[in-house]
Structure 1
Amino acid sequence: MIRKATLLLAGIVMGATAVTTLSQVPVRVSGVANAAASDTYRQLNLFGDVFERVRSDYVETPDDAKLIESAINGMLSSLDPHSSYMSPKSFRDMQVQTRGEFGGLGIEVTMEDGLVKVVTPIDDTPAFRAGVRAGDLITHLDGEQVQGLTLNEAVEKMRGAVNTDIELTIRREGVAEPMKISITRDVIRIKSVRYREEDDVGYIRITQFNEQTFDGLKDGLETLSKKIGKDKLKGFILDLRNNPGGLLDQAIAVSDAFLDRGEIVSTRGRNADETQRYNARAGDLSSGAPVIILVNGGSASASEIVAGALQDHRRATVLGTRSFGKGSVQTIIPLGANGAIRLTTARYYTPSGTSIQAKGITPDIESLQELPEELKGKAETTGEAGLRGHLESEDGAENEGSGSQAYVPPDPKDDKQLKFALDLLRGVQANTAFPPIGDKKAAVPN
């Protein structure tokens, strides 16, 4: 999960203050601190020596900027798998992802035989209105051949400033000649929330936690409640399977949508005074309707915050397989024109005070999918505990190597977990974990 931070200005101000203070007040440094500082500077001198030796003696002339970038990234990635350096371009891409909107055409694409293939045009976008269809092969972008470009390079060319034009050359099955379609870019919003009626049950799928997620959830709850009707509505299924996480504030807002009161999550950094607690506000947007949350081995970070909060408060039943177990918070620290660093700054804890780092959320009801023959033995994740250099669990009780299924069938008709959830909400099947029992207050500390 990502906590956004604008720390650059604060860093400049604090640095200036420190310089002023140091110039006026004599500073006494203990012998131990002085020795430690001296050792640190020796190590920095070592880095400088190695850097200069590489520059002067490597078999080919190296790129200085790339050497430094790699050194910084190596330093950060040695801390844990989620700390890293982001180049200016990577930082911009991350901002696009978390913002959930960008200037573009509105198509989901993949690569096939060196060409860009349209998976689907997104409803009510420039590409959709221009007549781009699923299965179309894009061969040229503004006359430039796509062959030889990576998918990311092609996507970068299709994105751009709003109200600018791009010409796509398309090969379409059943059409003899290539087609040229001119499209004007517009603001494209990434739909992180999709929902549908399952007769008397509202199904809501959250694919990531970006800046649009809570608004999408709110719209889904309102729309489904109206369409199904409160008298007919049996409850909601919140599908967080294979959701890798995203923004902390959005995970809090999604949890709050189903809670009237109580703690949602707390974060604790290295120092005790860095602890933060986030509490629910009055108002359950689902009007107290029963909720089942679907999770699996691909549900991580922000997904686990939501599942853990509603599970601890006995507000929802969690069904599926154990989640990924990423219980850490990353803060994005901008570095001006030099990109940013993603730094792990805290662990998070569910309302009952539990850290799920390297352990994951254990579902109230375990349910495994039927795997196709070709995926047997290949549809499991080892989770956070299986990542080299991961932040260790506080109590040492990790789930390393035990595996957790992360498969979701493409056809809902084959989705055993979804069927189980629907049957529970409709009363076709029964389980002691649904509805969740016990006083909500009993699940969390006072």
Structure 2
Amino acid sequence: MKKPFLQASALVLTVALLPATTSALSAVDANTYREMEQFMSVFDRVRNDYVDQVDDADLIKGAIDGMLGSLDPHSSFLDARDFENLRTQTDGNYGGLGLSVTMEDGAVKVIAPFKDTPADKAGVKAGDYITHINGELIYGGTLDEAVEEMRGKPGTPIELTIVRPGRDKPFDVSMNRAIIDLKPVTWEIKDQVGVISLNSFSADVGADVKAAITGIEKSLGKKPLGYILDMRSNPGGLLDEAVAVSDVFLTRGEIVSQRGRKKSDIERYFAKTGDAANGLPVIVLIDAGSASASEIVAGALQDHHRGLVMGERSFGKGSVQTLLPLSNTSALRLTTARYYTPSGKSVQEGGIEPDIIVPQLSDPDYKTRPKFREADLRRHLINEIKLEDGVLEEDTKEDPRFTATSEELEKQGVKDFQMHYALQTLSRLGPEGMRVAINKATKKAVTKKPATAKN
């Protein structure tokens, strides 16, 4: 059974299985055979003549990693240790810091901290580089080794040395490890508005969002003014759950399509009848850490004029990965398709552009800290429509509407300006005013027949 998933980080995965297929060696041409002979010659020379004795399995894994490393940054080989990391991450019951990380040029780079985890509370931010753990340099090691060092017994202290682009000097951040119990969906009521936070797209998230709507209405004893769907720093997850969450708010039409190498490799996903939110207005909050499945939901609600997308341009990961088991303890994580929003737009590189760009003014580093996105990853897939650098950087421009400093906002008790602005917008406009604002702000309507894209 083919079940794709979408995720920004190779270390935060949701399992999706596909039966292994046999290789058709008959399709390999003579030149390829010669290259394979050359590879075996190098392999034989290394194992026989290298200054130290080397393990055959290590050489073969290095060759596989090198092959996949020539593809996009989301394709990789998973060995037994990677599977253990996968299990502990998806179980959500381990002692750690709550970070989604990747490796870049030998350095550990933060994709995003998960909300309300030790790393988030300590102020670690997307785009930070971790250079030392407890004073020990980790540069040049593997990502698995760094992750294992950051994990440990809950309650034990740990110190990270951070290099943050935009700051002159590295600085240390101290925190205690904790049980990372990642709740994919949480909800609360603020100013008569239902706030639903999505931290990941693991199993049953669509049902959890629907249950959150029911819980909000029951708690209020009436319908709220509307809903805020907070998907900031959500790296993604299962494609099926992105479809399910979109379907909570949509009654008809295409949600997303995925398209593989061949023109015939197209799958389309459609909404079913019924809007659990009963047509109440929705504000979707995204930022540079909102990736993959988060972008599917934001793009679907935006294209269908169902929600007002607010915040910052999203991460821009428009590819689908499938986990192909190779044995009981190894698998291939391979990019197999691109996905497109209902209007036929690929979010690869460019991400989802908010209807209203709202900077996180409450973050004192928001002006100086560069945004880290898919377009910054080496060997990332190129969007079929060439994107100008200015488009990808426009959220760094000054907006005369937003002039408050983080210090001024702190004095006013505003700790999260983007959430504050979204709540004010819903409260000020009310349901009817929001519907008008959504229709005016959303930039692209869905055509009766979704646009096609090149394959």
TM-score by structure 1 length?
0.71
User: Take 2:385 and 2:284, find their aligned partners in 1: how far apart are those partners?
Assistant: 27
Deviation, structure 1 residue 238: 0.5
Deviation, structure 1 residue 325: 0.8
Q: Is the 8 A contact 2:97 2:151 kept in 1?
A: no
Q: Is the 8 A contact 2:199 2:233 kept in 1?
A: yes
User: Take 1:416 and 1:304, find their aligned partners in 2: how far apart are those partners?
Assistant: 21
Tell me which residue corresponds to 2:60: 68
Alignment of 1:52-201 (within 5 A): 52-97=44-89, 100-101=90-91, 104=93, 109=97, 152-153=147-148, 190-201=182-193
Aligned match of 2:361 in 353, 364, 370?
370
Aligned match of 1:274 in 262, 265, 274?
265
2:21 pairs with 1:11: yes
Deviation, structure 1 residue 384: 1.4
Tell me which residue corresponds to 2:312: 321
Report the secondary structure of 1:310's partner residue. Answer: helix
Tell me which residue corresponds to 1:220: 212
Tell me which residue corresponds to 2:293: 302
Tell me which residue corresponds to 2:381: 391
Deviation, structure 1 residue 321: 1.0
Tell me which residue corresponds to 1:178: none
Deviations 1:239-294 (A, max 9, x none): 11111111111111111111111100000001122100000111111111110000
Report the secondary structure of 1:215's partner residue. Answer: helix
Aligned match of 1:434 in 420, 432, 437?
437
Instruction: Summarize the Cα distance change of 1:422–1:66 in structure 2 as closer, same or farther, 3 Å threshold.
Output: same
Deviations 1:354-380 (A, max 9, x none): 111111111000111226555641152
Tell me which residue corresponds to 1:127: none
Deviation, structure 1 residue 395: 1.6
Aligned match of 1:230 in 211, 222, 225?
222
What is the root-mean-square deviation in Å for CA atoms of aligned residues? 3.9
Larger deviation: 357-366 or 330-339? 330-339
Report the secondary structure of 2:437's partner residue. Answer: coil
Report the secondary structure of 2:241's partner residue. Answer: helix
Q: Is the 8 A contact 2:69 2:75 kept in 1?
A: yes
Tell me which residue corresponds to 2:5: 2
Letter in structure 2 aligned against 1:37: D
Instruction: Summarize the Cα distance change of 1:63–1:433 in structure 2 as closer, same or farther, 3 Å threshold.
Output: farther
Letter in structure 1 aligned against 2:315: F
Deviation, structure 1 residue 434: 2.4
Task: Tell me which structure has the larger Cα radius of gyration.
Answer: 1
Deviation, structure 1 residue 49: 1.1
Deviation, structure 1 residue 342: 0.9
Deviation, structure 1 residue 40: 0.6
Tell me which residue corresponds to 2:335: 344
Deviation, structure 1 residue 323: 0.8
2:447 pairs with 1:444: yes
Instruction: Summarize the Cα distance change of 1:314–1:432 in structure 2 as closer, same or farther, 3 Å threshold.
Output: closer
Larger deviation: 56-65 or 263-272? 56-65
Q: Is the 8 A contact 2:68 2:76 kept in 1?
A: yes
Tell me which residue corresponds to 1:39: 31
Q: Is the 8 A contact 1:380 1:404 kept in 2?
A: no
Report the secondary structure of 1:257's partner residue. Answer: helix
| Aligned length in residues | 366
Deviations 1:421-442 (A, max 9, x none): 1111112698897233599995
Q: Is the 8 A contact 2:357 2:395 kept in 1?
A: no
Unaligned stretches of 5+ residues in structure 2: 7-14, 100-112, 123-133, 137-143, 158-178, 397-405, 450-455
Deviation, structure 1 residue 338: 4.2
Tell me which residue corresponds to 1:311: 302
Larger deviation: 62-71 or 296-305? 62-71
Report the secondary structure of 2:439's partner residue. Answer: coil
Report the secondary structure of 2:414's partner residue. Answer: helix
Q: Is the 8 A contact 1:264 1:280 kept in 2?
A: yes
Deviations 1:201-234 (A, max 9, x none): 0111111111142232222111112112334x10
2:416 pairs with 1:415: yes
Tell me which residue corresponds to 1:128: none
Letter in structure 1 aligned against 2:317: K
User: Take 2:290 and 2:268, find their aligned partners in 1: how far apart are those partners?
Assistant: 23
User: Take 2:424 and 2:17, find their aligned partners in 1: how far apart are those partners?
Assistant: 47
Unaligned stretches of 5+ residues in structure 1: 20-28, 112-118, 123-133, 136-145, 159-167, 172-184
TM-score by structure 2 length?
0.70
User: Take 2:365 and 2:150, find their aligned partners in 1: how far apart are those partners?
Assistant: 31
Letter in structure 1 aligned against 2:21: G
Letter in structure 2 aligned against 1:55: R
User: Take 2:441 and 2:88, find their aligned partners in 1: how far apart are those partners?
Assistant: 42
